[in-house]
Amino acid sequence: MADNSENKSGSGDCGIVIRDDWPGYSLDLFTYPQHYSEDLECVYIPHGVIMDRTERLARNIMDDLGDHDIVVLCVLKGGYQFCADLVERIKTLNRNSSKTLPMSVDFIRLKSYLNDQSTEDLHIIGAENLSVLSGKNVLIVEVIVDTGKTMKTLLNHVEGFRPKMIKVAGLLVKRVPNGPGCLPDYVGFEIPNRFVVGYALDYNEYFRDLNHICVISESGKQKYKV
């Protein structure tokens, strides 16, 4: 992947840029659940690379927000793994850094996808409990941003509770037409417009049990279509 990406470290950037011609890695080079052997095209971002990039994002967040109390708002369901790993790495920095970042964690669920298409029908579950964000520094943690419309809607909703500050960490930003409407402050990877699964990203609730981020095959889409 190194030959097909550009590393732009630091916060407020577009992260590691994976170019359109990146073919991914052969599935034969990695271990993964064999019940998905016919459902994937390739390993797009290996789990170890995700972990290393997440560690760097944690350091950037600590550099920017250290010594401030924050509320981490995890966007479910897809964001649970990224959020857990990011928080764990911030906790490690808390133990081994001159700065500290006291955290509490809250959760919200967004649902807008049917099969591989984002719909206009956005459901925000848990929104009624966000009054705890009033006057707080908020870090929204989302696993993927494509058009940015969903994130913009969520930001508008969170702003209604009058937090002191809002930052967004997104593991993936997808290059799509007319997007993103909202770019995260901390970005792991910028990826082409391909439908990816794994690392808690799903296709109709399947593939959350896959550690790597992979490209789903056309046969996989048909197999799990609803």
pLDDT of amino acid 9: 38
Q: If DSSP codes are grouped into helix, strand and coil, which group holds residue 49?
A: helix
CA 54 vs CA 11, 18, 35, 84, 114: distances in Å = 12, 16, 28, 10, 28
CATH label of the domain that carries residue 43: 3.40.50.2020
Which pLDDT tens digit goes with each residue over 188-219? 999 999 999 999 999 999 999 999 999 999 99
Q: Is the pLDDT of residue 123 over 90?
A: no
Q: How many domains does the chain have?
A: 1
Could you list the residue range(s) of the whole structural domain that residue 50 is in? Answer: 2-223
Which of the residues 3, 63, 85, 146 is marked catalytic? 146
Q: Is 146 designated active site?
A: yes
Which pLDDT tens digit goes with each residue over 40-68? 999 999 999 999 999 999 999 999 998 88
Distance, CA of 59 to CA of 183 (rounded, Å): 19
User: Which of 21-25, 129-133, 152-156 shows the lowest mean pLDDT across its residues?
Assistant: 129-133
